Every structure is written in structure tokens, then in C-alpha cells.
Structure 1
Amino acid sequence: MPSTTDDTATTDHTATDPAVAEPADRPEDIAAAMQTPAFRRDPYPLYARMRRTCPVYRSPQGIWYLTRYADVETALSDPRLSNDRDRMTRALSARDGGMRGLSRLIGRLGRIMTNTDPPEHARLRKLVNKAFTARRVEGLRDRIQMAVDELVRYDPPTQVIIRVAADDLPVGGEILRTGDLVYLVLAATNRDPDRFTDPDRLDLMRRGNRHLSFGNGPHFCLGAPPARLEAEPAIGTLVRKLPTLRLDDTRALEWRPNPLQRRLRALPLAY
């Protein structure tokens, strides 16, 4: 957890774990690295390597991983990459193991706004859009701290957004075929040095912070403005009430194994 003093308002995250920093470029080696405890502790060295060596990467399971900011920003707005529930469940159920369980979970959700494509998505979004506009939220509080956006850029809880190719789609010299699963790795794009200066540093005063943690295009997160609204006073209150709050370094951090959602089992703190 970063300190709020001037000397440590930025955190350098350039140290790498040899278990994930330099995998071979073969798809099977990268896939194996993604299953290691080292990757769960810190996925960013591997994401950086993928951005450099295979930014449009097809896993042995046939899943595409996009890790460059420019590619993912464009992909999030491309109608050929679908978020439709029925198309998603078909693509997931064609895979083995946990993918079929995810398919069943998505199927149980029903057809809601977040798992539809235009024009149905646009119709549903219009019904709720007025309650979530930035202007309405800004009326509740004038200024949202830049620190909130930097925290969700630096280590987003949603690491990957899944899409299905509804049509053949060229990306970065590769062709994504109709029906292919596509992982848009937000956590990698948010550390892309072609978009962010010194991206592995936590800079709470970073300007021009157009991260993709809330998505982009027609599925941009409606909850982004209220999320910023809620996070800013929460962080401010913690800093004021518990100025010595820090990580309890006597206890190791344990990360949950889900590579799509970055979650701690517990956050040990001391003050």
C-alpha cells in the first residue's frame, strides 16, 4: 500500500519475478506461466513480455489475448467483437473444464444490458443512462481525485474482459476468426508504455489518465462516475482517520486463483 508522504507518493514496480518475467515465446510456455503462483502474485512482468513479443497471442486453448492499449481500445468499440449472452455461452461451452462452468453461469444471468449487443444494448442502456451521467454525479461532488483513477489503472480488479468474434477480424497482423474467444487484457493495456509515461510507477498525480479499467465504447461502465464518487471520500477518510495505516508485512498476501479478476483472500493491515 503506498504511503501518502511526498517521498513515496509514487511506487516503482519495475522489479520482476524470474518465474514469470522471461518465459519463452512459445504459446504453451506462456500459458503455463499464467498458471503459476508467481503470476497470481504479480502478473505484470508477464503482461509486459506479451506486449513486447506477442501482443496478439493465441493460447493452446485457442483463446486470443490482446495486450496493447491501441488494440484493446479499438476492440472495445468494434461491433465485430460481441458481448451477446447467447454467442458467449456457445463459445465458452465449446471449451473444456472451467469454461463450461462459466458458460452455465452466464446463461443463468438472463438477457440483461451488460450481455447484449447493439441495437438491443443501446435500447436498454438508454433506459438507465440518465441516472448515471457524469454531469449528474458531478452535481453531488465537484472534484474527483486523480488518485482514484490511478489506483484502478495501476492494478485493476477486472484484469480481463471477454469477447467473442462475431465476424473475422484482423488485429496486429493476425486474423481472429468468427466464434473465437478473445481476452482483452485491461491490466496489460493500462501498463502500455506507448500510452502511459513510466507505466509501472504508481503516480497519484498522473494527468491524462485514460486507462481502460472501465472499458470503452458502447459498453463503457455506467457505474464509473459513481464508483469514482464513492472511492474518493472513502480513501480520504482512511488517510485522515488512520494516518499510519500500512500493510502488515508480517503476513504474506494471498491472491485468489481467478486470472480474470484480481482479488486478495484478505488484506492484512496495521496502524
Structure 2
Amino acid sequence: MQQNNDTRLSLNDVYQPEYVANPYKLYHRLRKADPVFWDEQLGGWVLTSYNDVVAMLRDPRFSAQRFVTDKEWMPTDMVEALGSPMRALTRQMLFLDPPDHTRLRGLVSKAFTPRVIEGLREHIQQIVDDLLDKALPQGHINLIQEFTYPLPAIVIAEMLGVPPEDREIFFKWTNDFGTILDGGELTQEQLVQAFMGVSEFMDYFRQIIAQRRTQTKDDVIQALITAEEGGSMLSEEELLGNCILLLAAGHGTTTHLLGNGMLALLRNPTQYQLLKEQSDLLQLAVMELLRYDGPVQVTARKAKENLVLRDKKIEAGQNVYAVLGAASHDPAQFADPDRLDIQRAENRHLAFGQGIHYCLGAPLARLEAEIALGALIRRLPAPRIENEAEVEFFPAMIFRGLNELPLTLGS
């Protein structure tokens, strides 16, 4: 195995406070050390160049079936309780290869076509306006709690057909799901608690599904149930696992996109003012905000066979981490990549991934961002960050988002 010289450097350093605030400095260091970097701490390869990441995500020799199903870490008395959520998560589209991935994605994709999503525009605008109507009279807004969290939660809940008033309990379950995906340095107790949360998530959807078998509705869950009964062989674990994926991914990442995007604009006032003056730049601006500080930073694959990437020999079974955030800041692909430029025309960012696992909800996320950011810039009078010290990103490797973003609304 060919390794790099800097064994102290690791993608795991992203949990250090310096890189929690700005992971792109770490990505540049990793790319400079080696764009195909053997990470001793992670025990896998780390890709940071745009071309390498695109090539890997399109290469069928790399498998998405990377979810660890080893139960050795579980307390003996918890194996039975936690085994079910673990199996359900392995049946999510996120962790499947063709043909299972193709079958599941085909069932769900009909609910996320551009035509369907565009039909939601008026309703999303109404939700945005209602949320801002409540916040504006106060003269300040905690943007995450009062706006960027509830908006996508309401939208995806309605699409799935679950009660929007349950969105408060979604927050904990989505965090539990995100904790499992991100990994990090978790204690056994924290990992057990996260899986217990996912188990509660599954029980919630079991109740919804049971109701639908007698009281049908026209929504995504009903479509998946019908497909199961119609012979597409959607197992209960597939049904439950992908309901969790759609709800969690459908609002968690969009919350981060909106929060990160608004913060980036406020920290770049000339760009904020340009967008305020030229609303026709909104679509370009959303694309640039996705590139500049996207909600998903890392994805992973497992090599199915021995292969060579650049001059590195990657062995079958080894993990390969594609750093989407690094690829979207690769100076070989993007001019002056660390500068926010809402007029950037050539912008094939990788915030939504690439290849067959390209984000199914990308059209919905873009639409929500265009409507939400447009309304914020139009309706918020002179917003200012109340206290920069309170603006903190949560420590994570895969996801990137803010805990809070308190704003004062000037006159």
C-alpha cells in the first residue's frame, strides 16, 4: 500500500474547533499533501480533488453498501432491540447498489420530478410568508429555530403524508440518524441511544403505515405501500428505512443549506447587497451557496476489487471517502474557490453528489432555497448577526450546519 508522508494529518481533524469553523482549510491541506490521501486514523483513502471525486462516484467498482452491521459493540441485552433499526438502515437507497438501488429509487423518484416540485412553489411561498409574519414583529429572529428548521420539516412532512405538527419529535430522531451516519468519536452509550432513537422513528412510521392500509392517501408513503403490495417486493425494512431517509434527509440538509447560505451572505455584505438589488441572480446564488458551504461535506464508498486511482493501489474492501466540500473548493475546477461569487456561471458543484446516488431531492432543495432566501432578503430589514460568538457550527464530518443564527432586524 502506498502511503503519504504526513501520517499526522487526517480528515478526522475536522472535529477540531479551528476546522469546525472552516473545514476548507483542512481540505486544502489534505489536497496539498496528496489528493488521494491514505488516512491512518480513518483507515481509508481520502479524495479531495474534483476530478477524482467525480470519477469515483461514477465508478461501479466502488460500492455504496458500506453500512457497518457488526453487532460486537452492542450490549448483549440490546442486540435484539437494535438489530431491527440497523437492518432497516442498510436497506436505504443511500447504502444500496443496483439492482436494489435502481428499484427503490425508481419507486420514490416519481414524487420528486421537477414538474411535481414546481407545483409546490405557491404552497412553499405561503409557508415561508407565514413563518416570517410571526417573526418579523419581534425585531429579531433565531433563524435556525424559527425559520430554516420548520420550513423544510413542514414541506417534507406534507409530501410524505405525516402530520406537520409532529415535526418537533422529528428533530431528535433526525439528529439520532445523523449521529449514526456521521460516526465521529461516539461512546457505546451514545451509539446505543442514537439507534434507540431510530427504533422510535421506525415505530412511528409503523403506526402511519398501519393506518394507511385502511385509510389511503395520495402521498409518498402510500405510493411505497402500494408498490409493496403490487409485487415490487418492498420489504418492511426497506419501507421503514427509506421513510426515515426521506424525512431526515428532506429537512435536515435543507435546514443546513438555508442557515449556511444566509450566514455566508451576511458575512459577504457586497454579495448580499448585489442579490438584494438583482433578484434575478437568485438561482445562480443558490448554486454558489451550495458550492461555497454545502450541507453535505463527505460521502463514502467501499472498493469492490483491487484498483488503481492515480498512482495509488486501492485494495478490495478498503473505504474511500469522497470529500464533496473539498471537490467544490478545488482551484483546478473553480477560480478563486474560497471566494463567494453569486454571479459564478460555471458552477458544477458536488453538493448533491454525483452518479446514480445523486440527491433525489435536489430540485426540492433548490426550490425551497430560492423561495426562502428570496423572501429573507426581500422582507428582513437590515438583518445583522446579534453576536458572532453565538454563531457556531456543530462538529461533524459528513454534515455541516449551524446550531444557532440569531439575527437582529434593523429598521
Answer whether TM exceeds 0.5 for this pair.
yes
- Tell me, yes or no, if the aligned pair for 2:9 and 2:39 is still in contact at 8 Å: no
Establish whether residue 257 from structure 1 lines up as the match of residue 395 from structure 2: yes
Q: Residues 64 and 34 (structure 1 numbering): CA distance in 2 closer, same or farther, change over 3 Å? A: same
Q: Residues 29 and 218 (structure 1 numbering): CA distance in 2 closer, same or farther, change over 3 Å? A: closer
**Equivalent-residue separation in structure 2 for 1:207 and 1:245 (angstroms):** 27
Counterpart residue identity of residue 181, structure 1: N
**Equivalent-residue separation in structure 2 for 1:94 and 1:159 (angstroms):** 29
Larger radius of gyration: 2
Establish whether residue 153 from structure 1 lines up as the match of residue 291 from structure 2: yes
Identical pairs, percent: 45
Moved more, 28-37 or 161-170: 28-37
In structure 2, the residue matched to 1:193 is 331
Moved more, 36-45 or 182-191: 36-45
The CA deviation string for residues 163-199 of structure 1, in whole angstroms up to 9 with x for no partner, is 1112223112112211111111001000011111111
In structure 2, the residue matched to 1:111 is 91
- Tell me, yes or no, if the aligned pair for 2:10 and 2:40 is still in contact at 8 Å: no
TM-score with structure 1 setting the length: 0.78
The CA deviation string for residues 235-256 of structure 1, in whole angstroms up to 9 with x for no partner, is 0111111031132245342222
Between the two proteins, the alignment pairs up a number of residues equal to 237
In structure 1, the residue matched to 2:16 is 36
In structure 1, the residue matched to 2:113 is 133
Q: Which of 221, 224, 239 is residue 359 of structure 2 equivalent to?
A: 221
In structure 2, the residue matched to 1:206 is 344
Establish whether residue 57 from structure 1 lines up as the match of residue 4 from structure 2: no
**Equivalent-residue separation in structure 2 for 1:254 and 1:140 (angstroms):** 32
Q: Residues 32 and 231 (structure 1 numbering): CA distance in 2 closer, same or farther, change over 3 Å? A: closer
**Equivalent-residue separation in structure 1 for 2:113 and 2:53 (angstroms):** 24
What SS does the corresponding residue of 1:195 show, helix, strand or coil? coil
**Equivalent-residue separation in structure 2 for 1:89 and 1:268 (angstroms):** 38
Larger relative helix fraction: 2
**Equivalent-residue separation in structure 2 for 1:106 and 1:224 (angstroms):** 26
Counterpart residue identity of residue 131, structure 1: A
**Equivalent-residue separation in structure 2 for 1:215 and 1:88 (angstroms):** 18
In structure 2, the residue matched to 1:15 is none
**Equivalent-residue separation in structure 2 for 1:133 and 1:266 (angstroms):** 32
In structure 1, the residue matched to 2:307 is 169
**Equivalent-residue separation in structure 1 for 2:331 and 2:388 (angstroms):** 34
Q: Which of 53, 59, 74 is residue 72 of structure 1 equivalent to?
A: 53
Moved more, 106-115 or 161-170: 106-115
What SS does the corresponding residue of 2:67 show, helix, strand or coil? helix
- Tell me, yes or no, if the aligned pair for 1:88 and 1:164 is still in contact at 8 Å: no
**Equivalent-residue separation in structure 1 for 2:393 and 2:30 (angstroms):** 22
The CA deviation string for residues 76-106 of structure 1, in whole angstroms up to 9 with x for no partner, is 111111112xx4315x8799xxxxxxx9875
The CA deviation string for residues 38-67 of structure 1, in whole angstroms up to 9 with x for no partner, is 111111112112222211111113121100
Unaligned 5+ runs, structure 1 = 1-23, 96-102
**Equivalent-residue separation in structure 2 for 1:108 and 1:124 (angstroms):** 14
Unaligned 5+ runs, structure 2 = 74-81, 122-279
In structure 2, the residue matched to 1:124 is 104
TM-score with structure 2 setting the length: 0.53
Counterpart residue identity of residue 47, structure 2: L
**Equivalent-residue separation in structure 1 for 2:390 and 2:338 (angstroms):** 22
In structure 1, the residue matched to 2:68 is 89
Q: Residues 109 and 88 (structure 1 numbering): CA distance in 2 closer, same or farther, change over 3 Å? A: closer
**Equivalent-residue separation in structure 2 for 1:140 and 1:250 (angstroms):** 35
- After superposition, residues 11-26 of structure 1 pair within 5 angstroms as 26=6
Q: Which of 317, 323, 346 is residue 179 of structure 1 equivalent to?
A: 317
- After superposition, residues 220-239 of structure 1 pair within 5 angstroms as 220-239=358-377
Q: Residues 106 and 234 (structure 1 numbering): CA distance in 2 closer, same or farther, change over 3 Å? A: farther
Give, in angstroms, the shift of residue 161 of structure 1: 0.5
Moved more, 124-133 or 206-215: 124-133
Q: Residues 250 and 130 (structure 1 numbering): CA distance in 2 closer, same or farther, change over 3 Å? A: closer
Counterpart residue identity of residue 172, structure 1: R
**Equivalent-residue separation in structure 1 for 2:399 and 2:291 (angstroms):** 14
Give, in angstroms, the shift of residue 214 of structure 1: 0.3
Q: Residues 36 and 145 (structure 1 numbering): CA distance in 2 closer, same or farther, change over 3 Å? A: same
Compute the RMSD of aligned alpha carbons.
2.7
- Tell me, yes or no, if the aligned pair for 1:88 and 1:163 is still in contact at 8 Å: no
